[in-house]
Amino acid sequence: MKKLCSLALLAFTAQAQPSVQVLASNGMRAVIQELKPQCERSIGHPLSIQFGSTTDLMKKIDSGEPFDLVILTKEAIDQLAKGGKISSNTTAIARCGVGVGIRSGAPKPDIGSPDAVKTTLLKAKSVAYAEDGASRVFVEEMERKLGIAEQMKPKTMLTHGSGAADAAVAEGKADIVLTLGSEILGVHGVELAGPLPASLENYVNFAAGISRMTQNSDAAKAMVQFLTSPAAAPVYKVKGMEAR
């Protein structure tokens, strides 16, 4: 009973504090959603989180969207720090490689080697990935490396956001989705066939930065500390990411 009362008190205390306004990349969604309740209890503040592509969230920041903490690709975080939008003391959070997703229950394709990936992509009737996704540049680089860039153009379905790419596969509109593994795992109707072979794989690195305009810097720092703590590390692995 004491434990239940303590947990209830912690939850009440967190809700009574000002919320931490977070802008986070879709690639971090699965991890942050899983850790959110524990994080709120740990830092004593509720979290108000907007997820989106790095491209969309950068536009929001440029247009004056208020935030306390932002978690985006390292390149975007570096750009925000250089532009004075966030503190120069940024923090590496995690990295994630590109995965191959298929409709739940469909036969798993052979993606164990570059030649196998090439054959699988050429056999697919349609391949979906996000036009504004952090992994797009790596997907198209892989296609060029395999010598199939031109052949893939007619069968490529570009979507706005990785969620729409996953949905295209779940609904049978595309055979394969190519996006970060963390954006495939746990999505209803889609399953991860596996990561790309090591010789084709590339990783998207995510980092966090605290707004120079925040009035909630202590809570934002506490959230970063929680996300990089040993207690959070196992969740990254389960969600297809590597904690940094």
Q: What is the pLDDT of residues 111-128, one digit of tens each?
A: 999 999 999 999 999 999
Which one-letter DSSP state was computed for residue 88? Answer: S
Task: Tell me the pTM.
Answer: 0.89
Per DSSP bridges, beta strands 156-159 and 69-73 are: unpaired
Beta-strand runs (E) in 104-142: 127-130
Residue 16 banded pLDDT, cuts 50, 70, 90? low
243 neighbors 112 (Cβ within 8 angstroms): no
Q: How far apart are CA 94 and CA 30, in angstroms?
A: 12
Q: What is the pLDDT of residue 14?
A: 52
Place of tokens 């794989």: 201
Query: Of 162, 178, 195, at which residue does a domain stop?
Result: 195
Do 42 and 125 share a domain, yes or no? no
N- to C-terminal Cα separation, the chain = 38
What's the total number of domains in the chain? 2
> How far is it, in rounded angstroms, from Cα 244 to Cα 203?
12
> Do 91 and 74 contact (CB within 8 A), yes or no?
no
Q: In this structure, are 134 and 158 located in the same domain?
A: yes
Predicted confidence at residue 17, as pLDDT, reads 85
Verify that 114 and 179 share a domain, yes or no. Answer: yes
